[in-house]
């Protein structure tokens, strides 16, 4: 098999994904709050992938402006990621549909039926996350046009199960819609192996943070370039009575202070100084605004440096197009090498 045959094979393997996204390669840039704005999103789409704007806590007017700015930088398809808990979710959906965005990704919990209906009635494709097979099937019945399965290797908010296991549990049994794999992916040969298991494409976040077009602060990028896989750890919860949302981020002064903060709050709760609800809120508020502090202001010591375990494979700042070309080359190389090995193998 030569490289052009291998590329044709790769295109076959992710055909369902490229068709769904309307792209040349079935690689989605996972939405990252503060990072996935017009520059990175348009760069990913212009390079043949699928950029996704992270709405995060933007209000409808800001989102509308971000979509328009992105449309001015690319004529290729891109999506918008909305968090289901956002108090203005319906308005955000309306603004997204009015701007003609073709794909909406709903993240952060079960999507409300009204939002699903609005997205479908508006003619956009709906992408949802599923943490398990049963929920994935339910989401498809409710109208999801594609699913993302994200392993706990990922950066940001995470579930408890690795992509290795999720892929085995879900890919063989969920064939109705394209399924994109996410979490810990930084190489094309790894993406290829999931395509061969039945995935239609992949979503990567961490690998794109140090793209030249990413507006992340130089300190944030430097922290990524220095870090190893083991530095990207989930938040630690001190007390079962006060649950903590698991977020994978680089260990820093902030993560250490969070432990102290939890201990202090629990002490106040035990002494009767704080009621349970107030104590829970106090713990939850610790990280408010902290991703912005790290990504935009560059305070990587006290802010939240959300990163996946693949951070160890981010070794230099590179143009987005180069990152995507590298991922494709690695998948093609793997296919060529494998065909060579088959030719050399003795018959029988």
- Give the binding range for ligand FMN (CB under 6 A) out of 28-36, 171-179, 192-200, 313-321: 28-36
Angstrom distance (rounded) from CA 331 to CA 204: 15
Angstrom distance (rounded) from CA 237 to CA 56: 24
The minimum distance between CB 149 and ligand FMN, in angstroms, equals 10
Angstrom distance (rounded) from CA 324 to CA 223: 22
CA distance readout (Å), 140 to 59, 268, 340 = 28, 45, 40
Burial label for 23, CB within 10 Å (0-12, 13-18, 19+), is: buried
The minimum distance between CB 116 and ligand FMN, in angstroms, equals 17
- Nearest by Cα to 146 from 181, 109, 101, 114: 181
The minimum distance between CB 240 and ligand FMN, in angstroms, equals 26
The minimum distance between CB 115 and ligand FMN, in angstroms, equals 15
Kindly tell me the sign of the dihedral angle through the C-alpha atoms of 273, 275, 281, 283: positive
Binding to ligand FMN in span 141-200, by CB under 6 A: 150, 153-156, 182-185
- Nearest by Cα to 63 from 76, 53, 74: 53
Binding to ligand FMN in span 225-284, by CB under 6 A: none
Alpha carbon 152 to its chain centroid, in Å, reads 11
Angstrom distance (rounded) from CA 222 to CA 239: 33
The minimum distance between CB 39 and ligand FMN, in angstroms, equals 15
The minimum distance between CB 347 and ligand FMN, in angstroms, equals 41
Angstrom distance (rounded) from CA 331 to CA 59: 39
Binding to ligand FMN in span 44-103, by CB under 6 A: 54, 56, 81
Q: Would you say 76 or 86 has its CB closer to ligand FMN?
A: 86
Q: Would you say 60 or 184 has its CB closer to ligand FMN?
A: 184
Q: Would you say 65 or 278 has its CB closer to ligand FMN?
A: 65
- The answer to whether residues 124 and 95 touch, using CB atoms and an 8 Å cutoff, is no
Q: Would you say 180 or 269 has its CB closer to ligand FMN?
A: 180
Closest-CB residue for ligand FMN?
A: 205
The minimum distance between CB 290 and ligand FMN, in angstroms, equals 11
Q: Among all chains, which residue has been given the structure tokens 């992916």?
A: 185
Q: Would you say 29 or 48 has its CB closer to ligand FMN?
A: 29
Angle at 215 between CA 210 and CA 221, to 5 degrees: 35
Q: Would you say 64 or 153 has its CB closer to ligand FMN?
A: 153
Binding to ligand FMN in span 306-325, by CB under 6 A: 306-308, 310
Binding to ligand FMN in span 200-229, by CB under 6 A: 203-207
| Phi, psi angles (nearest 5°) of residue 202 | -135, 155
The minimum distance between CB 310 and ligand FMN, in angstroms, equals 5
Question: How many residues interact with ligand FMN (rule CB under 6 A)?
Answer: 27
**Which distant-in-sequence residues (6+ apart) come within 8 Å of 162 by Cβ?**
151, 152, 153, 183, 184
Applying CB under 6 A, does 31 fall inside the site for ligand FMN? Answer: yes
**Would you tell me which residues interact with ligand FMN (CB under 6 A)?**
30-33, 35, 54, 56, 81, 107, 150, 153-156, 182-185, 203-207, 306-308, 310
């Amino acid at each position: 098999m030569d490289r052009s045959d291998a590329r044709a094979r790769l295109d076959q393997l992710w055909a369902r994904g490229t068709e769904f996204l309307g792209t040349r390669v079935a690689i989605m840039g996972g939405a990252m709050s503060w990072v996935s704005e017009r520059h990175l999103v348009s760069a990913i789409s212009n390079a043949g992938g699928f950029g996704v704007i992270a709405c995060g806590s933007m209000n409808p007017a800001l989102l509308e402006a971000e979509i328009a700015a992105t449309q001015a930088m690319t004529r290729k398809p891109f999506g918008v990621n909305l968090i289901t808990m956002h108090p203005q979710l319906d308005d955000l959906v309306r603004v997204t549909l009015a701007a003609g965005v073709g794909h909406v990704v709903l993240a952060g919990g079960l999507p409300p039926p009204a939002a699903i209906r609005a997205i479908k009635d508006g003619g956009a494709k709906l992408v949802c996350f599923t943490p398990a097979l049963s929920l994935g099937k339910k989401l498809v019945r409710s109208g999801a046009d594609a699913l993302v399965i994200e392993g706990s290797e990922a950066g940001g908010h995470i579930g408890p199960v690795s992509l290795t296991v999720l892929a085995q549990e879900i890919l063989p049994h969920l064939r109705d819609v394209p399924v994109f794999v996410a979490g810990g992916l930084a190489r094309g040969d790894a993406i290829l192996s999931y395509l061969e298991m039945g995935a239609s494409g992949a979503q990567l976040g961490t690998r794109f943070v140090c793209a030249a077009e990413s507006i992340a602060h130089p300190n944030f990028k430097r922290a990524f370039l220095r870090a190893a896989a083991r530095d990207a750890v989930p938040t630690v919860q001190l007390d079962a009575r006060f649950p903590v949302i698991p977020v994978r981020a680089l260990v820093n002064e902030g993560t250490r202070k969070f432990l102290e903060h939890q201990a202090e709050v629990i002490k106040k709760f035990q002494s009767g100084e704080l009621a349970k609800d107030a104590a829970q809120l106090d713990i939850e508020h610790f990280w408010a605004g902290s991703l912005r502090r790290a990504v935009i202001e560059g305070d990587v010591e006290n802010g939240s440096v959300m990163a996946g375990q693949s951070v160890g494979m981010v070794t230099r700042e590179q143009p987005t197009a180069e990152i995507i070309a590298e991922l494709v080359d690695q998948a093609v190389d793997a296919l060529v090498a494998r065909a060579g090995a088959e030719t050399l193998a003795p018959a029988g």
